[in-house]
Amino acid sequence: MAEIDTLWTLLSQSADPAVATSLRSVVETGEDIALNRINPLVFAANHRHDEERVISTLVHAARLGIFDLSWNVLCSSCGGVLEVGGGLKTIDRREYFCAFCAQNNEPTLDELVEVTFTVNPRIRRIAAHDPEGLPLAEYMRQVFFGSGSDLPDDIEAAINAVTLDVMDLAPGEKAAMSLTLPEGLIILLDPVTHSTLFLDVKGEPTHERRNVSLVFSDLHAHAGTLSLQPGPARISLENRAAKRTIPGLWVAGEAMHQNLSKRRAFLTATRLLSNQTFRDLYRTGTLEKDQRFKITNLTFLFTDLRGSTALYDRIGDLAAYDLVRDHFSALLRSVDAEGGAVVKTIGDAVMATFPTSDRAVRAAMKMRGAMREINGARGNEDLALNIGLHEGPCLAVMLDERQDYFGQTVNVAARVQGLADPSAILVTRPIVESPEVARLLAEAGLDANERSSTLRGVSEPVSVYELRSALGDSRGDDSKLRRLYA
């Protein structure tokens, strides 16, 4: 117990103390289900904390061993968890099959891989640590569905309403269900082995008793679709899996969709990879050398220090190094404050990623403010940034022993930065067209003016916009910004 106290103390020292206190109180007094696969965004909303702080605190808590971080591959259709891994490394297949929905899913990191946090069993033992002991309703809630499924509180009633019958089968056990099949699509589902058989019940009702059999093994399996007339049937089940199974007959109707398809926001793998705390604490070992994941959309921000070569020439390597380092820490703070992460520094340049474009734009504005502050303190104009932003699809990879990103989107972002000068932040069309960015620009009094430029080597024309003060004064955004962040 004393040891656990130490962990909590460490947590509040290294992360947000208010979030740490909330987490501790949930661990000490919360229900079991509140500690299983915590959705950080929901936790933040419930406890009125900032999302970024909750994410960073949970990352710290995971690093300390208070929670276990898990990466779950989701089905895009049902929101079910198709694979769970303690590291992205274990998610090594190109596609994951959902037997419930009979579809393949490519695990794109910003859509189909979620990150959740479960209390470590040494800190507190909860029912979900022994999934074999969970009844169907709790199994569905705590193990089958991901943290993005917004399930009704009374899950048992909801499931009862859409299932015809359910059984609990120990390994090796056989059983049969006798019932009258109503018209409609019935899904025979075992959520433990992810096995399904679709029964398409239609046509003239019959009195004849039909026999249907299904064997469960350890592999996700979709046994196809059987067409049957409505009427009596006997469903024989055999569990050849190493785990207990919970087969049930699900009526795939309106009620099931209404009860089980409500979604809520969750922490995506992309967002975690773009979190500075995560990058700092889990620097190596996120991906295997040969792994590469598709990301549907990620925002890239590149900065470069204007005229740094002339600066080194003038003030010498040592003084330039100290100045460049101060500038890096200021940029890191701006990135961190907006939930982004610095992927790497390249000479005087910085490459950072953000889960959304508005946060990237906000970070870019903060960066300019931070440079003005350092310049003000030094009484000169040595630091000025060329900033470029772009968003789009890319690959998450391991390059040069760090988690990096690769693809034309990254190239374009770097090229856009190359066109920039300190008078304006340069962004591409997908960035300015985001509604959140439009709102942010209006608040900050910034105009987006299209600039005619084609990027070398890029066949599709890329529209580039200059973000500058609507007042024509390059510092006009400053006071408004200060108010915005006051």
Partner 1 sequence: MAETDTLWTLLGQSADPAVAASLKSLVETGEDRSLNRVNALAFAAKHGHSEEATITAMIHASRLGLFDLSWNVLCPGCGGVLESGGALRTINHHDYFCSLCAGSYEPTLDELVEVTFTVNSRTRHIAAHDPEGLSLPEYVRQIFWGSGVDLPEDIGALMNDLTLDAIELAPGEKAAMSLSLTESFIIVFDPVTHTTLFVEVTGEPTQERRNVPLVFSDFHAHAGKQTLRPGPVRFSFENKAAKRTLPGLWIAGDTMHNVLGKRRPFLTATRLMSNQTFRDLYRTGTLDKDQRFKITNLTILFTDLRGSTALYDRIGDLAAYDLVRGHFGALLETVATEGGAVVKTIGDAVMATFPTPDRAVRAAMGMRGAMRKLNDARGNEDLALNIGLHEGPCLAVMLDERQDYFGQTVNVASRVQGLADPSAILATKPVVEATNVAKILSDAGATVTPRQASALRGVSEAVAVYEIR
* Residues that bind partner 1 in the complex, under the rule CB under 8 A: 283, 292, 307-313, 317-318, 320-321, 324-325, 328, 342, 344-347, 393-395, 397, 399-401, 406-408, 410-412, 414-415, 455-460
Q: How far apart are CA 58 and CA 40, in angstroms?
A: 8
Q: Which is nearer to partner 1, 344 or 372 (CB)?
A: 344
Structure tokens at 376: 């003000």
Structure tokens at 359: 């946060």
Closest distance between partner 1 and the C-beta of residue 345, in Å?
Answer: 4
Closest distance between partner 1 and the C-beta of residue 391, in Å?
Answer: 15
- CA trace torsion 207, 211, 216, 217 (10° rounding): -150
Q: Which is nearer to partner 1, 153 or 290 (CB)?
A: 290
Q: Which is nearer to partner 1, 346 or 438 (CB)?
A: 346
Q: Which is nearer to partner 1, 66 or 410 (CB)?
A: 410
Q: Which helix (H) or strand (E) holds 131?
A: none
Q: Which helix (H) or strand (E) holds 449?
A: strand 446-451
Q: Which residue has the tokens 């010498």?
A: 316
Q: How far apart are CA 354 and CA 365, in angstroms?
A: 14
Q: How far apart are CA 418 and CA 431, in angstroms?
A: 17
Q: Which is nearer to partner 1, 127 or 395 (CB)?
A: 395
Closest distance between partner 1 and the C-beta of residue 401, in Å?
Answer: 7
Closest distance between partner 1 and the C-beta of residue 439, in Å?
Answer: 31
Q: How far apart are CA 85 and CA 97, in angstroms?
A: 16
Q: Do 241 and 132 form a contact (C-beta atoms < 8 A)? A: no
Structure tokens at 89: 């490394």
Q: Do 268 and 113 form a contact (C-beta atoms < 8 A)? A: yes
Q: Which is nearer to partner 1, 217 or 408 (CB)?
A: 408
Closest distance between partner 1 and the C-beta of residue 403, in Å?
Answer: 13
Closest distance between partner 1 and the C-beta of residue 307, in Å?
Answer: 6
Closest distance between partner 1 and the C-beta of residue 278, in Å?
Answer: 14
Question: Does residue 89 sit in helix, strand or coil?
Answer: helix
Instruction: From 422, 391, 339, select the one nearest 44 (Cα to Cα).
Output: 339
Closest distance between partner 1 and the C-beta of residue 281, in Å?
Answer: 12
End-to-end CA distance of the chain: 41
Q: Which is nearer to partner 1, 204 or 317 (CB)?
A: 317
Q: Do 383 and 395 form a contact (C-beta atoms < 8 A)? A: no
Q: Which is nearer to partner 1, 5 or 401 (CB)?
A: 401
